[in-house]
Amino acid sequence: MEMRMAHVMTSEFVTNGHPDKVCDQMADTIVGAAIEQDPKSRVAMEVTGGHGLVHVTGEMTTRAQFDIGELLRQTYKEIGHDHPIAVTTNVVRQAPDIAQGVDREGAGDQGIMTGYAIAGDPSFMPRVWVLARTLCQRLRFCRDNGILPYLKPDGKSQVTMINGKVTHVTLAAHHAEDVDLITLRHDLAKHVVGNVLPDFSVVLDSCDPKNPIPDANTVINGTDRFVEGGFDADAGTTGRKLVVDNYGPNVEIGGGCYSGKDPSKVDRSGAYFCRLIAKSIVVGRHAGEALVKVGYAIGVAKPTFVSVETDLPEMANHALTLRILAQFDFRPLAIIERLKLQNPRGWRYRDTAEAGHYGNIAFPWEHVVAIR
C-alpha cells in the first residue's frame, strides 16, 4: 500500500472552535436550516469572521425562513465561545444562469472531485490524519466532560510519523487565563497525548530557544499562552481547511470546499460519492488503497471522466474502473437521491464541518456497498 503513503508523513487538524472551522460550521448551519424547511434549497454561502464581526455573503434560493444572524450567534455559543459577535449579511438569489443548469439536473458547478480510502485503520483513513483528528477530539472531550475544565474551544494538533511510527506531536490548546503553563503542559501530556497515544513516550520541549531539549518529541503551546481564541483573537473563512476536511496532505484533493454548499454543488456531493466508492473498494478487498476521481462540467449531468487508481497494476485499475462505471450512477441527482442529501437522518450538515467530512459512520457516504 505505497500509492499515497510516504516514508515521512505529517498531518494537522483543528478543533471545532478554530476560527476557520467556526466559519465552516456557520456556513453549514445555514445549509442545514434551509434544507430542513425546503429540501430543494439552493445554497452557496461564504462566512468570514474575526474580531467580533461575522459577515455572510452568497446566494440562496429557498422557501425556508430563518434569521441568519440569530442562527449564527447561537452556533457560536454552542461551539463554546462566549464573547459577543455582530453578524452582517449580503445574500441574494442564485444566479439564473447557474440555476438553469441545475434545473435540468446538471451539475451545479464544474470541477474535479476525489474520494480516497486505505486499509489499516478502522475508518479506512490515513492513520496520521486519524491521530491528528483524535487529538483534537480528545481536547474537546476533556473540556466538555470537565476533565480539564480550563480548556476553551480553539485548538490545533499536528502529528508526524516515520515508517508508520509516531515521532512528533504538536498541540495548541486554548485555555483560561488562570491556569499556569507547567500545569497545562503536564495535563495535556497525560490526558490528551497519553490517552490517544499510550505507547508514545512524551518528552516535552521547553519551548525556550536558549534551552532546547535535544530529545524532545512533543510541543504543547509553543508560544506559552493561548488565552485569546476564536474570533476574539483571529479571523477565519469558509473552506480554508480543505486538507483537514479531506485526507491530509499526502492525498490530492479536487480543490472545491464543501461547507456552505447544498448538494447540487458536485464539489460536495461528487466527493462524497467518490469516498463511498473508494471505501467500498478497500472494504471489499478489491485493493488495499483506492483513489476515485470524477470531473463535471457545469449544467451537464454526465461526468466528463471517472477514474479509479489503486495499488494494483494498471490493467487491473482499468478493469475496476469499467466495473465502477457499470454499477454506479454519477449523475448529480442520482447521487443526491442515493445518499439522501436533501433529507439528512441521523446527521447534520454542521456535523460534517466539525471534524472532517470522512471517517464518521453516521454519514451515508461511509456506508459501503458490494462491488460487483
Residues taking part in catalysis: 18, 20-21, 46, 59, 156, 226, 234-235, 240-241, 261, 265, 267
| Whole-number Å distance between alpha carbons of 370 and 372 | 6
| Whole-number Å distance between alpha carbons of 138 and 246 | 20
CB-neighbour burial class of residue 133 (10 A; exposed 0-12, middle 13-18, buried 19+):
buried
Residue 82: how many CB atoms within 10 A of its CB? 10
Which pairing describes strands 86-92 and 53-61: parallel, antiparallel, or unpaired? Answer: parallel
| Whole-number Å distance between alpha carbons of 355 and 66 | 26
SS3 279: helix
| Whole-number Å distance between alpha carbons of 29 and 202 | 38
* Amino acid identity for residue 28 in this structure: D
Q: Which phi and psi (to 5°) does residue 98 adopt?
A: -80, -45
Length of the chain: 372
What is the greatest pairwise CA distance in the chain?
Answer: 66
Residue in 12, 22, 10 with CA at minimum distance from that of residue 152: 22
Residues 6+ apart with CB under 8 A from 173: 139, 151, 155, 184, 188, 192, 220, 221, 226
Residues 6+ apart with CB under 8 A from 191: 138, 142, 147, 148
Which residue has cell 497494476? 313
